[in-house]
Amino acid sequence: MSDLELYHYWRSSCSWRVRWALNYKNVPYKDIAVNLVKGEQTKQDFLKKNPSGHVPCLLVGKQPLGESMAILEWIEETYPKNPLLPKDPFSRAIVRQLALTIAAGTQPIQNLKVQKHISTDAKVGQKFAKYWIEQGLQVYEKIAAQHAGTYSFGGELTIADLCLIPQVYNALRFGVDMSQFPISQRIYSHCRKLNSCVQAAPESYQPAP
């Protein structure tokens, strides 16, 4: 039995990153759904594990670990097989730059909590989210243009792709025209066919209506 428990939400892009990494590295884990719509992330039992009230949260034995990027780094260091970072230090830095362009500079600005803070009108919030998604993808596209191959960085899957693909999924949900981001669109189309990505994708965890 695995000593890893992943608290996650089916459509959370941060949760998708971590599910994908665990699947790609063939690391067994128990997944535990946290229903954000019902506010389960605000319950004291969950807040004891992750005071931010965010998903994902990875329970390693009895030790909780929050923040998807910290979790990805821990997974990479603990399970080095099927690496998600290049060996060369500068290349690793570029991959982290790409990943953080999404994880720090794009995704947090467009999430539901921010949308609701901006306006109680869902359409206003969605317009706000769409704008910042496009801004973030513009930056990503310019960096990736210098380094992309089959994936965001050359010919191997990295944490940059684990951040990009869920963000493109959200971009499509918000009506972003991905033809203006041909590199990201191409990488998205390729990665969505990978078994490790398919297994981690929202549709694999979507709750019954």
Question: What domains appear along the chain, each with residue ranges and CATH number?
Answer: 4-81 (3.40.30.10), 89-196 (1.20.1050.10)
17 within 8 A of 162, measured Cβ to Cβ: yes
144 within 8 A of 98, measured Cβ to Cβ: yes
130 within 8 A of 177, measured Cβ to Cβ: no
Decide if pLDDT at 67 tops 80: yes
Decide if pLDDT at 1 tops 60: no
User: Burial of 113 by CB count in 10 Å (0-12 exposed, 13-18 middle, 19+ buried)?
Assistant: exposed
CA-wise closest residue to 196 among 141, 158, 144: 158
* Mean pLDDT, rounded, for 33-57: 94
Neighbours of 128 (CB within 10 A): 18
pLDDT at 111: 83
pLDDT at 116: 86
Under DSSP, the state recorded for 23 is: H
Q: Which pLDDT band, with edges at 50, 70 and 90, does 208 fall under? A: low
The token pair that represents 81 in the structure block: 């097989």
Decide if pLDDT at 68 tops 90: yes
Q: Which pLDDT band, with edges at 50, 70 and 90, does 209 fall under? A: low
* Mean pLDDT, rounded, for 163-189: 97
pLDDT at 22: 98
* Mean pLDDT, rounded, for 89-113: 94
